[in-house]
Chains A and B, each alone.
Chain A
Amino acid sequence: MAVGKEIRSKIASIKNTQKITRAMEMVAASKMRKTKDRMQATRPYSKKISQIIVHLSHANPEYKHPFMIGRDVKRVGVIVISSDRGLCGGLNANLFRMMLNQIQQWHGRNIEVDICTVGGKAAGFFNNINANVVAQVSKLGDSPHQMDIIGVIKVMLDAYTNGTIDQLYVVNNEFVNTMTQRPVMTQLLPVKADSLEPKVSGHWDYLYEPGAKEVLDHLLQRFVESIVYQGLVENNACEQAARMVAMKSASDNASNIIKELQLVYNKARQAAITQEISEIVAGAAAV
């Protein structure tokens, strides 16, 4: 029957698309479990090291590390962590929108912005809008290693030490739950004391072995690395979760469209049959 050939081929093509989105949904679901585990596994370390940094900012060290002293802000550095691939709903778009607002605010206060991108999408976006991208790394895969990002972090830390930038931020998506991801911006440098923690009273300081300088250099660098790494694995988990949700709604949409098209097709087919019968009947009556 020639009726509704276009509709049938359309249904078939949507079914194919649906197969793909289903498969992507399932892949994302299993990857999400893994990335979530990884995120939770590395959390204690970054939590503990931030705690130590908070303690440290309450101490009165005889050696003030440059990372702990605030300066007048003329130029800030931002490490933007995004996913490498798209098809994950509004995850990256939301992040970039927040960044743009922030950049505008900074520009309003005559503050320049240097950007360091992690992940392919951020690199594409910020190169496109002609932002000042000083370092970029991408294609880190689903199980990134700390070693992969040490290079770009060093670029930013050196910039801070040289005085090129006066503040360093990291921007990534925070994993609230599977349905919700939220872009967050965290200040890394200068180290900000958490005002929630009760201040230890009295004048005290750590004993440093072997020396305050070596220990603090080491510790603060570790701190930055671990926070950025934590942001990266968290963003990874967000990416998979967002992709899972996006693909699920795509599959559902495909189901709806197929249902509607099927209805249209059936109606057309029925109309054709009815017409044929009435033609035959009319023909028979005429004889």
Chain B
Amino acid sequence: MAMTIHVDIVSAEQEVFSGLAEMLFAPAELGEVGIAPRHAPLITKLKPGEVRVKISDKESQEFYVSGGMLEVQPHLVTVLADTAIRAHDIDEARALQAKARAEEMLNDKSGKYDYALAQAELVDAVKQLSTLDRLRKRGS
């Protein structure tokens, strides 16, 4: 059997995933990283995007995280996500809605809305949608 590494994904609200995996891919701030067993200790911030856990050659699971931290110990990877959703559970309609709303807020120059907040929301929604997109392509 291939070497495995223990992966824990927790969000502020719940534990999302815990188990052994062959490899983990995560959107670190300086670019996507792949973590294999016996990786050197590493701490990094995460961008909004997709975390992929490769459990075996046949099986892998995708999660959407809206940012957070990643900690790597040689045999243990911890993803502290601000929010984490299983990619299958992303609600496309809601993501689209959130995107539209954020764009509207950005276009509204009346200064009624918090610009930074709207931008963060937009990034969040767009990343959720692109995660879904990638998931579909892989499935088909």
Residues of A within 8 A of B (CB): 41-42, 44-45, 48-49, 51-52, 55-56, 59, 146, 204-210, 214-215, 218-219, 222, 226
Assess whether B34 is interfacial by the CB under 8 Å rule.
no
Chain B residues near A204: list those with CB within 8 A.
41
Assess whether B40 is interfacial by the CB under 8 Å rule.
yes
Assess whether B102 is interfacial by the CB under 8 Å rule.
no
Chain A residues near B13: list those with CB within 8 A.
41-42, 45
- Check if A49 sits within 8 Å of B80, measured CB to CB: yes
Shortest 10 CB-CB distances between A and B: which pairs?
A209-B44, A44-B15, A44-B10, A207-B42, A206-B41, A206-B43, A45-B10, A52-B71, A41-B14, A209-B30
- Check if B80 sits within 8 Å of A208, measured CB to CB: no
Closest beta carbon of chain B to A172's beta carbon, Å: 18
Q: A48-B10, A51-B78 are in contact. Are A59 and B45 (CB under 8 A)?
A: no
Assess whether B4 is interfacial by the CB under 8 Å rule.
no
Assess whether B73 is interfacial by the CB under 8 Å rule.
yes
A51 to B80, CA, bound (A): 11
Chain B residues near A41: list those with CB within 8 A.
13-14
A51 to B21, CA, bound (A): 20
Which of A42, A55, A56 is in CB contact (< 8 Å) with B12? A42
Chain B residues near A49: list those with CB within 8 A.
80
Residue of A nearest to B44 (CB): A209
- Check if B78 sits within 8 Å of A209, measured CB to CB: no
- Check if B42 sits within 8 Å of A222, measured CB to CB: no
Closest beta carbon of chain A to B35's beta carbon, Å: 12
Closest beta carbon of chain A to B47's beta carbon, Å: 11
Q: A206-B41, A219-B69 are in contact. Are A52 and B14 (CB under 8 A)?
A: no
Chain A residues near B10: list those with CB within 8 A.
44-45, 48
- Interface size bucket, B side? 20 to 34
Residue of A nearest to B68 (CB): A222
Q: A51-B78, A222-B80 are in contact. Are A45 and B71 (CB under 8 A)?
A: no
A87 to B69, CA, bound (A): 41
Assess whether B62 is interfacial by the CB under 8 Å rule.
no
- Check if B41 sits within 8 Å of A209, measured CB to CB: no
Assess whether B11 is interfacial by the CB under 8 Å rule.
yes
Chain A residues near B45: list those with CB within 8 A.
209-210, 214-215, 218
8 contacts between A and B (CB under 8 A): A42-B13, A45-B80, A52-B80, A59-B41, A209-B29, A210-B29, A210-B30, A215-B44
Closest beta carbon of chain B to A46's beta carbon, Å: 9
A145 to B30, CA, bound (A): 30
Assess whether B28 is interfacial by the CB under 8 Å rule.
yes
Chain B residues near A45: list those with CB within 8 A.
10-13, 80
- Check if A48 sits within 8 Å of B29, measured CB to CB: no
Q: 4 more A-B contacts (CB under 8 A) besides A42-B12, A52-B69, A146-B12?
A: A44-B15, A45-B10, A59-B41, A215-B44
The 0/1 profile, CB within 8 Å of A marked 1, for residues 102-133 of chain B is: 00000000000000000000000000000000
